[in-house]
A and B are shown apart, each in its own frame.
Chain A
Amino acid sequence: MAKTTTREYTTVREVAGPLMVVEGVEDVAYGEIVDVLIPDGGTKRGQVLESRKGVAVVQVFEGTSGIDTRSTKVRFTGDIMRMPVSMDMMGRIFDGLGRPIDGGPDIIAEEYLDIAGASINPTARAFPNEFIQTGVSTIDGNNTLVRGQKLPIMSGAGLPHNDLAAQIARQAKVRGTEEPFSVVFAAMGITHEEASFFMRDFERTGALERIVAFINLADDPAIERIITPRMALTAAEYLAYTCDMHILVVLTDMTNYCEALREISAAREEVPGRRGYPGYMYTDLATLYERAGRVRGAKGSITQVPILSMPDDDITHPIPDLTGYITEGQFVLSREMHRRGIYPPVDILPSLSRLMNEGIGSERTREDHSGVSNQLYAGYAEGRDMRDLVAVVGEEALSKRDQLYLKFADRFEKEYVTQGRDEDRTIEQTLDLGWELLTDLPEGELKRIDEKYIKKYHPKYRTG
């Protein structure tokens, strides 16, 4: 945009919810950043949401309390929202608007980047296919994560999604290179306790110096949450594409982000879509999630693991629903498994990794990976069906074959799904464990695995 000098107005006409209408303005650009100087001396930031001849509608990130229509000054900065970036961000903690809150100095910028980002030209993308070993069997074995993927954890209130996310952040590595991921952590509206859980965990494992954190807590202004993930992703893009680093972005909790989006939409009196969320929520979420990926010729990459708590565990709620349509799969946590004491309670049946097929196989993990994974899926699904059946007809009424599957499902959950919070399994351990369980089934049932891999990896042939 054309550079314009800063202009100040005291012509606030209306304040409603997070929005403020300023009159008599000139040359206000759509998306321009404003500083609001309130009578008690404080400053707030805002952004132009609608620009009309003489009138600008501004959303104020830090809430509109304290703004009056007489003496509040509105300063239009003539620029869009940019953030200072440099390598010095590593190991630092910022608030939701990117200001340091760890007592350290301000960042001396190498560059000022537009936080909205631009869309990557699809021809410039490199297809993600590098296997990330997280050490969690249900992920590595059955829903493999690859570099440049976006794969959310869909959870519910009270489930251990934070533990799982922290474990992934701690253990994730690309095989062959022992180089760990650097983590960009964006917290939106989570509680102080949750935030300090992550910080403690990062500190405990000595990971703090390879982390950049943006923290907007539950009692921080809700509208700020619109900006927080964009700050985090801009930092991630700088680190990945300029500094050649591999970045894992953890965004938590996307549900709070969407609530903030709805709040603004309601304040603007827009026509609501489903459940009051704005009709453009899909597009808006896409502008965040699609910032994951790899670019041809660039060394770094951005992998996203957003966390969202499904209201009432309902996966058809607009937030998980629209997310699932954009992300490349999902990990779904099950309350029922959590109640039975299984950690991590990943229900593999509704979980999915769309990029798995490209990231596994002989050159990346092991040649039998795909077959073993499919067979475990099929066996577990069948066993779960049997469980429902047993509830009605009793175990005795099952055929021999069905009883085998019933047992298989139990063992699968107890031995394969369940693992310690610090247990870091290699992919070979995971696959061998899978084979171990599959020996309970007759060999003829292993239809999903190529015969030559059965001969090579089935414990029966390996030992004898």
Chain B
Amino acid sequence: MSITGRIYKISGPLVVAEDVKGCVMYEVVRVGDIGLMGETIRLDGDRAYIQVYEATEGLKPGELVETTGSPLTADLGPGILTNFYDGIQRPLEMLKEVAGDYITRGLTVPPLNPDTVWDYTVVANEGSSVEPGDVLGTVPETKVITHKVLVPPGVKGNLTKVREGKLHVTDAVATLTKEDGKEVELTMSHRWPVRVPRPYKKKLDPFVPLLTGQRIYDTFFPLAKGGSAAIPGGFGTGKTVSQHQLAKWADSQVVVYVGCGERGNEMTEVLDTFPLLDDPTTGEKLMERSTLIANTSNMPVAAREASVYTGVTLAEFYRDMGYDVAVMADSTSRWAEAMREVSGRLEEMPGEEGYPAYLASRVADYYERSGRVVTLGSGEERLGSVSLVGAVSPPGGDLSEPVSQNTLRVVSVFWALDSTLADRRHFPAINWLRSYSLYLEVLRDWYKKNVSEDFYEVRTRMMVLLQKEAELQEIVQLVGADALPERERLVLEVARMVREDYLQQNAYHEIDSYCSKEKQLMMSKTILAFYDRALKAMDAGVSIAKIETIKVKDEIARMKYVHNAEFPDRYDAMLRAIESQFSALEG
């Protein structure tokens, strides 16, 4: 039953309606004669405060406000992947077809194209009794993802009729008789309120890394599947490129990319490149496993607030089918600012820096939607995960601000972007001394089994070199490098190799953009072999000046550009070159 009221006041994205007694918190309402979409965020007597997801220019007091009886929901079903949505799940391609190059107000377009015909195969047969999470049937959604149509949460009973074949997303695929004898028709899609986490049976501890093909993350600060990470950094430090790299190369089966209040051209870049790039795991195009949500900085601010929830809801939906899903949100600061803007208009008592006092709990709620879970459903256990990576844009690059601090309290991986590194074009500009990952211990066994027994030792040795370098640099700043003992100068030399030849990774280089875990191991071992051999040569009386000019260094510098597949041969060749060239020095 819808309730109708009248607009009392308009101020930016906030509209106050009167005579709407009975309106429910977080209910979606239609505002004004052109029916702009909004959501109630405060009730006061017969007045409702509404954040409107579209521009409010031209609205007048006295215009109609109508409730819809439903909270803000996402439509979940086949057709989400390869699609491109705004913050409230309106498909942008369709909007363009309907309204042209500019976003027009008051339009509703179904998120899942009702005209698409899907090839639906029955899994649960007639007569079987099903519970939430059970697989009703499957649809080949893209070349790489088989979409499992699940019994929605809260629905239980016996299947009395099932259909198969070429069907639309709105067609009934099964009729279910509940215990009370009522019949329910199930389609391939259902709606879910975006602000409510989707249910699961049990949350598990993560123990598998989300491999990204990026050396600094995989080797030094790994993220686990089902974990959460934050990338804070000032502008120009490479947040967006890092997020793009993760979206491209992370070995999750499904990727949800949320462009929250960021640049329009960046979303265009994703749109242009994802359909062209190959996924290293499946060999198919990256777009086949991706869905994009774009609410750029000049699109309405309230829809930006909703966009991260829409994103994580889509992710949970694919998790429930048993997939590993990664969500990249760029940038969560813009989401927090959208909250601040609306809170300011509500004249709420501000917390730190004008942010609402509930910022901390909203941030925590969001990141808690990550996790590795046993999904709903009877029969064999199905496992799925949602990993969340949030970029944070701290004003002036100062991490003491509220959004960064509240985020760091809840995430387990911290990738600290550093503007001094970015200024020297050291990319990814992740500071190796400030970053951390709390998953190192739980992932140890996996790395032992799947990469190498000694991987953690290799990692630790490189880290020690970097740490040592930082200490030595302080002395160099005072007395110059020449004053250091030879062995310390060798540490500086090798640490430079770790930084320049290992940590620096060129996102725009065809080969270097993605580095397999095997190549990472061999690259690190090459550098350490150089170090060990150089130490030995020093014992034999070779001076650091000679070591600094040794030829094999150039080869090591270029090893990152060697193809993943060709690397093992090159690795052997380099080890031999190290040995022979040092032997020659020793004479």
Q: Could you list which residues of chain A lie within 8 angstroms of chain B, going by C-beta atoms? A: 1-2, 27-32, 49-54, 80, 116, 118-128, 148-149, 270-274, 279-280, 282-283, 286-287, 290-291, 293, 295-296, 315-318, 321-322, 324-326, 328-330, 349-350, 352, 355, 357-358, 370, 374, 377-378, 381, 388-389, 392-393, 397-399, 401-402, 444, 447, 451
In angstroms, Cα B423 to Cα A352, docked, is 9
Are A279 and B59 neighbours in the complex by a CB distance under 8 Å? no
Contact B59 A29 (CB under 8 A): yes
**Contact in complex: B264, A325 (CB < 8 Å):** no
Asked if B269 and A127 sit within 8 Å, CB to CB, the answer is yes
Given contacts A125-B264, A127-B268, A392-B477, contact A119 B354 (CB under 8 A): no
Cross-chain contact B8 with A53 (CB below 8 angstroms): yes
- Chain B interfacial residues counted at CB < 8 A: 78
Q: How far is the CA of A374 from the CA of B507 in the complex (A)?
A: 13
Cβ–Cβ contact B62 & A53, under 8 A: yes
With A30-B57, A325-B235, A397-B482: A122-B557 Cβ-Cβ less than 8 Å? no
Besides A329-B236, A349-B424, 6 more A-B contacts (Cβ < 8 Å) are A51-B60, A123-B96, A272-B354, A293-B265, A321-B395, A328-B263
B297→A290 contact, CB < 8 A? yes
Task: Kindly provide the distance from the CB of A271 to the nearest chain B CB, expressed in whole angstroms.
Answer: 4
Query: Which B residues form the contact surface with A (CB < 8 A)?
Result: 8-12, 18, 33, 55-62, 84, 92-93, 95-96, 99-104, 234-236, 259, 261, 263-265, 267-269, 271-272, 294, 296-299, 301, 334, 337, 340-341, 344, 347, 350, 353-354, 393, 395-398, 419, 423-425, 476-483, 500, 508, 548, 553-554, 557-558
Contact of A274 among B9, B96, B353, B553 (CB under 8 A): B353
Bound together, the chains give a CA A350 to CA B33 distance in angstroms of: 49
B419 surroundings in chain A (CB, below 8 A): 350
Bound-state CA distance A329–B553 (Å) is: 34
The answer on a CB contact under 8 Å between A122 and B61 is no
Inter-subunit contact A27/B62 (CB<8 Å): yes
Q: When the two chains form their complex, are residues A120 and B477 in contact, meaning their CB atoms are under 8 A apart?
A: no
Q: A397–B398 contact, CB under 8 A?
A: no
Measured between C-beta atoms, what is the minimum distance from A241 to chain B in Å?
A: 8
- Please, how many angstroms separate the alpha-carbon atoms of A270 and B96 in the complex? 36
With a CB–CB cut-off of 8 A, which chain B residues contact A295?
101
Shortest beta-carbon distance from B475 to chain A in Å: 11
- Give the nearest-CB partner of A278 in chain B: B344
Nearest residue (CB) in B for A270 is B344
Shortest Cβ-Cβ A-B pairs, 3 listed:
A316-B396, A1-B58, A286-B297
Q: Verify A53–B272 contact, CB threshold 8 A.
A: no
Nearest-neighbor residue (CB-CB) of A273 within chain B: B354
- Structural contact, A119 and B103, CB atoms closer than 8 A: yes
Q: Which of A119, A270, A330, A397 contacts B296 (CB 8 A)?
A: A119
* A328: min CB distance to chain B, Å: 6
Q: Smallest distance from the beta carbon of A369 to chain B beta carbons, Å?
A: 12
Is A350 touching B236 in the complex (CB atoms < 8 A)? yes
Bound-complex Cα distance A359 to B139 (A): 41
In the assembled complex, the Cα of A112 lies from the Cα of B423 at a distance in Å of 45
Most central of A27, A148, A447 by chain B CB within 10 Å? A447
Q: Hey, which chain B residues are within 8 Å of A317, CB to CB?
A: 396
Closest to A81 in B: B57
CB <8 Å contact, A398 and B298: no
In Å, the complex CA distance between A193 and B164 comes to: 77
Find the B residue at minimum CB distance from A116. Answer: B57
